[in-house]
Amino acid sequence: MITNNIELVVDALKQGDCVGLPTETVYGLGANAFNKKAVEKIFSIKGRPKKNPLILHTHSLKEVKKLVKSISPIAHNLANFYWPGPLTILLNKSELVSDLITAGSSKVAIRIPNHPLFLEVLKSVDFPIAAPSANPYQRISPTSAQQVDEYFGDQLPYILEGGKADCGLESTIVGIEKNTILIYRQGGITIESLKKIHPNVEIVQSEKSTVVTSGMDLKHYAPQTKLLIVENINYFKKQNPHLNVGILDFKEIDNRLIAKDFYQKLYDLDKQNFDVIVTKKFKDKGIGKALNDKLNRASTK
């Protein structure tokens, strides 16, 4: 059930339920990270394999410090600059964080989200909230409460209404190795922005990485309809008159606004039974780079 009543949602979390929560990136499927049964519910509702770890959300650096062994100077700078916001940082976990959360890794993924209602929820409980995006495994991430309801309505006691997600893409996930920031998943914070904080930034290629995140899977965020990236959409339509073609294009010029609508548009097109959805690449800079990464993973090769 979609609700505006934050107290109901907080009570459900305290009782070990799994609920839909708004964030500035995408909606999350949240539960008490210190309650094993609650965390297991996340995996089973989402249909997610246990080898795939979860992000912990909390409301302050003081709380983050309890969940990690230490915070390096670079991580500290990132936290100060971007939190609350769409950046997730991999840090060495403390004893408080279970192997169920990290899938056995010594590192835990943490972020302080920037959504007023989610922050209010986090301040009302005395545990961090584990939350993956609120979509069934490998489906498109939801950017509205309505979409979470369509995916999981009957399985969640509550979905907190928090409006349309402002960023529209998942958080950028980074780790720090020696003197370098490694990007494991592209998202709301751009590489250009990170480079202003610290000059050494690299995007990790999934094939070469020992850290594996589902955002690195080559097939991810996929619509069920075939998605093709083409050079010229009109030309494609002319060449394929027999096909019922859905078009994923954007009127806005600002890539930030495009990102906000991106998953929703893909999701809406996916429901319309087209033979194929076609789209074009974005300019490969800023948030356009993250959008191209999502397109690549969602498209049919």
Residues within the interface to ligand TXA (CB under 6 A): 23, 25-26, 28, 52-55, 88, 90, 102, 105, 107-109, 113, 131-133, 170-171, 173, 211, 213-215
* Contact by Cβ (8 Å): 72, 176: yes
Determine the Cα–Cα distance for residues 14 and 4; give it in Å rounded to an integer.
18
Question: Does residue 213 bind Mg ion (CB under 5 A)?
Answer: no
53 vs 246, which CB is nearer to ligand TXA?
Answer: 53
Cis omega (within 30 of 0) for bond into 53: no
102 vs 180, which CB is nearer to ligand TXA?
Answer: 102
Span from 11-19, 130-138, 199-207, 269-277 in contact with Mg ion (CB under 5 A): 130-138
Phi, psi values for residue 279, rounded to 5°: -155, 170
The listed partner (Mg ion, ligand TXA, none) that binds 26, CB under 5 to 8 Å by sort, is: ligand TXA
Angle at which helices 116-124 and 6-14 cross, to 10°: 40
Cβ 179 to Mg ion, closest distance in Å? 29
Relative to beta strand 276-279, strand 180-185 is unpaired
Q: What is the dihedral of CA 295, 297, 300, 301, to 10 degrees?
A: 110
Cβ 80 to Mg ion, closest distance in Å? 26
75 vs 109, which CB is nearer to Mg ion?
Answer: 109
The single residue among 58, 133, 186, 299 that binds Mg ion, judged by CB under 5 A, is: 133
C-alpha distances in Å from residue 231, one per residue of 55, 270, 285: 36, 21, 18
Q: Which residue is nearest to Mg ion (CB)?
A: 133
Burial class (CB in 10 A: 0-12, 13-18, 19+), 298: buried
Cβ 106 to Mg ion, closest distance in Å? 22
Determine the Cα–Cα distance for residues 221 and 218; give it in Å rounded to an integer.
10
57 vs 278, which CB is nearer to ligand TXA?
Answer: 57
6 vs 230, which CB is nearer to ligand TXA?
Answer: 6
The listed partner (ligand TXA, Mg ion, none) that binds 23, CB under 5 to 8 Å by sort, is: ligand TXA
Tokens of 203: 């995007």
Residues that bind Mg ion (rule: CB under 5 A) add up to a total of 1
Q: Which residues bind Mg ion (CB under 5 A)?
A: 133
